[in-house]
Structure 1
Amino acid sequence: MNLNDKVGSLKGIGPKKAENLSKNNIDTLEDLLYLFPRKYEDRRQETRIADLQPSKEYLICGKVLSRRYAGNPYKKNTPLTLLVSDETGTIEILFFNGRYIANLFNVNQDYSFYGRVSENFDRKQMIHPEFHRIGDPNDIRGIIPIYPQINGISQNELRKIQLQLQELYPQVEEWLPEEIVSENRLASPSYAIENIHFPKDGKQVLKSKFRLIFDELLTLETGLFYIKNETRKDTGGIVIDAACADEFAKDLPFELTEGQKSVWNDMQKDLAAEKVMNRLIQGDVGSGKTVIAEMAMFAAAKNGYQSVMMAPTEILAKQHLQSLSADFEKYGIAVGLLCSSMKTSEKRETLQQLATGEIQILVGTHAVIQPDVKFKNLGMVITDEQHRFGVNQRSLLSKKGENPNVLVMTATPIPRTLAVIIYGDLDISQIRTMPRGRQPIKTLQADMENRNRVYDFVKKQLKEKKQAYVVAPLIGESDKIDAKSAEELHKELSQKFKGYQVALIHGAMKQEEKDFIMSEFSDGHIDVLVSTVVIEVGINVPNATVMVIENCERFGLAQLHQLRGRVGRGSDQSYCFLICHNETDVAKERNRIMCESNDGFEIAEADLRLRGPGELFGTRQHGLPEMHISDLVRHADVLEKAKNTAKAIIDRDPNLQAQKFAKLKNRIRKMFGEDIKLEL
Structure 2
Amino acid sequence: MMKLDQISVRQIKGVSAPKEQELHAFGVQTVADLIDYFPFRYEDYRIRELTDVKEGEKVTVLGHVRGAPVLQRYGRTKSRLTCKVEVGQWLVTAVWFNRQFLQDQLVTGREIMLTGKWEQQRLQITVSDSEFPGSGGAAKTGTLQPVYSVGGSITQAWMRKTIRQAMTQYGVMIEEMLPYELVQRHELMGRRDAVQRIHLPDDTKEGQAARRRLVYEELFLFQLKLQAYRALNRKRNDGIAHRIESETIRQFAATLPFELTDAQKKVINEILTDMRRSSCMNRLLQGDVGSGKTVVAAITLYAAVKAGHQGALMVPTEILADQHMRSLQRLFADMGIEVALLTGSLTERKRRDVLAGLQMGMIDIAVGTHALIQEDVFFRSLGLVVVDEQHRFGVNQRSVLRRKGMNPDVLTMTATPIPRTMAITAFGDMDVSTIKERPIGRKPIKTYWVKHSMMERVLGFIRKEVSKGRQTYIICPLIEESEKLDVQNAIDLYVQTQQSFPDLRVGLLHGRLTASEKDSVMSAFGVNETQVLVATTVVEVGVDVPNATLMIIMDAERFGLSQLHQLRGRVGRGEHQSHCILVADPKSETGRERMKVMTDTDDGFEVSRRDLEIRGPGDFFGTKQSGLPEFRLADMVADYEVLEQAREDAADLTARDDFWTSEVFAKVRQVLQKDPFFQGEQLD
TM-score by length of 2: 0.86
Q: How does 1:136-285 map to 2 (within 5 A)?
A: 137=137, 139-141=139-141, 142-167=143-168, 168-232=170-234, 233-243=236-246, 244-285=248-289
CA displacement, residues 303-342 of structure 1 (integer Å, 9 cap, x when unaligned): 2211111111111111111111222122111111111222
Instruction: State the one-letter code of the partner of 1:130.
Output: D
Cα distance in structure 1, aligned partners of 2:144 and 2:549: 57
Instruction: State the one-letter code of the partner of 2:194.
Output: A
Cα distance in structure 2, aligned partners of 1:604 and 1:178: 37
C-alpha change, 1:582 and 1:140, in structure 2 (3 Å) is same
Preserved contact between residue 623 and residue 676 of structure 1 (Cα < 8 Å): no
Cα distance in structure 1, aligned partners of 2:100 and 2:503: 66
C-alpha change, 1:68 and 1:504, in structure 2 (3 Å) is farther
C-alpha change, 1:471 and 1:619, in structure 2 (3 Å) is closer
TM-superposed deviation, 1:144: 0.8
Bigger CA drift: 302-311 or 440-449? 440-449
CA displacement, residues 448-501 of structure 1 (integer Å, 9 cap, x when unaligned): 443442243234445656443344456666777666566765666565555666
CA displacement, residues 99-122 of structure 1 (integer Å, 9 cap, x when unaligned): xx5555569667644345579xx6
Partner of 2:409: 405
C-alpha change, 1:344 and 1:192, in structure 2 (3 Å) is same
TM-superposed deviation, 1:417: 3.4
Bigger CA drift: 496-505 or 417-426? 496-505
Preserved contact between residue 620 and residue 626 of structure 1 (Cα < 8 Å): no
Partner of 1:25: 27
Cα distance in structure 2, aligned partners of 1:93 and 1:527: 68
TM-superposed deviation, 1:570: 2.8
TM-superposed deviation, 1:516: 5.8
Q: How does 1:214-613 map to 2 (within 5 A)?
A: 214-232=216-234, 233-243=236-246, 244-462=248-466, 466-473=470-477, 493=497, 496-497=500-501, 509=512, 512=515, 515=518, 519=522, 522-523=525-526, 528-582=532-586, 586-613=590-617
Report the 3-state secondary structure (helix = DSSP H, G, I; strand = E; otherwise coil) of the residue aligned with 2:270: helix
Bigger CA drift: 644-653 or 662-671? 662-671
Cα distance in structure 2, aligned partners of 1:378 and 1:637: 40
Partner of 1:73: 75
Bigger CA drift: 301-310 or 453-462? 453-462
Q: How does 1:49-68 map to 2 (within 5 A)?
A: 51-54=52-55, 56-60=57-61, 66-68=70-72
Cα distance in structure 2, aligned partners of 1:57 and 1:491: 55
C-alpha change, 1:510 and 1:672, in structure 2 (3 Å) is farther
Instruction: State the one-letter code of the partner of 2:433.
Output: S
Instruction: State the one-letter code of the partner of 2:263.
Output: G
Unaligned runs of at least 5 residues, structure 1? none
C-alpha change, 1:272 and 1:206, in structure 2 (3 Å) is same
CA displacement, residues 22-71 of structure 1 (integer Å, 9 cap, x when unaligned): 232111121011111111122121443x65324533114565854556xx
C-alpha change, 1:65 and 1:577, in structure 2 (3 Å) is farther
C-alpha change, 1:534 and 1:7, in structure 2 (3 Å) is farther
Cα distance in structure 2, aligned partners of 1:676 and 1:485: 51
Does residue 631 (structure 1) correspond to residue 635 (structure 2)? The answer is: yes
Preserved contact between residue 625 and residue 672 of structure 1 (Cα < 8 Å): no
Does residue 130 (structure 1) correspond to residue 129 (structure 2)? The answer is: yes
Cα distance in structure 1, aligned partners of 2:680 and 2:203: 39
Cα distance in structure 2, aligned partners of 1:568 and 1:24: 49
TM-superposed deviation, 1:211: 1.7
Bigger CA drift: 163-172 or 200-209? 200-209
Cα distance in structure 1, aligned partners of 2:255 and 2:162: 71
Bigger CA drift: 431-440 or 467-476? 467-476
TM-superposed deviation, 1:588: 4.5
Unaligned runs of at least 5 residues, structure 2? none
Bigger CA drift: 3-12 or 383-392? 3-12
C-alpha change, 1:541 and 1:113, in structure 2 (3 Å) is farther
Preserved contact between residue 176 and residue 660 of structure 1 (Cα < 8 Å): no
TM-superposed deviation, 1:667: 2.7
**How many residue pairs are counted as aligned between the two chains?**
667
Bigger CA drift: 493-502 or 305-314? 493-502
TM-superposed deviation, 1:615: 2.7
Identity %: 38
- What is the RMSD of the two structures over their aligned residues, measured on CA atoms? 3.6
Preserved contact between residue 35 and residue 167 of structure 2 (Cα < 8 Å): no
Preserved contact between residue 556 and residue 582 of structure 2 (Cα < 8 Å): yes
Cα distance in structure 1, aligned partners of 2:366 and 2:602: 33
C-alpha change, 1:678 and 1:156, in structure 2 (3 Å) is farther
TM-superposed deviation, 1:283: 1.2
Bigger CA drift: 189-198 or 328-337? 328-337
Preserved contact between residue 66 and residue 84 of structure 1 (Cα < 8 Å): no
C-alpha change, 1:177 and 1:281, in structure 2 (3 Å) is closer
Preserved contact between residue 546 and residue 575 of structure 1 (Cα < 8 Å): yes
Instruction: State the one-letter code of the partner of 1:390.
Output: G
Q: How does 1:39-118 map to 2 (within 5 A)?
A: 39-48=41-50, 51-54=52-55, 56-60=57-61, 66-68=70-72, 73-74=75-76, 82=82, 85-87=85-87, 88=90, 90=92, 93=95, 95=97, 101-103=99-101, 105=103, 112-116=113-117
C-alpha change, 1:163 and 1:480, in structure 2 (3 Å) is farther
Preserved contact between residue 226 and residue 654 of structure 1 (Cα < 8 Å): no
Bigger CA drift: 636-645 or 487-496? 487-496
Bigger CA drift: 326-335 or 83-92? 83-92
Bigger CA drift: 315-324 or 523-532? 523-532
Cα distance in structure 1, aligned partners of 2:328 and 2:590: 42
Instruction: State the one-letter code of the partner of 1:182.
Output: Q
C-alpha change, 1:302 and 1:261, in structure 2 (3 Å) is same
Preserved contact between residue 390 and residue 621 of structure 1 (Cα < 8 Å): yes
Report the 3-state secondary structure (helix = DSSP H, G, I; strand = E; otherwise coil) of the residue aligned with 2:655: helix
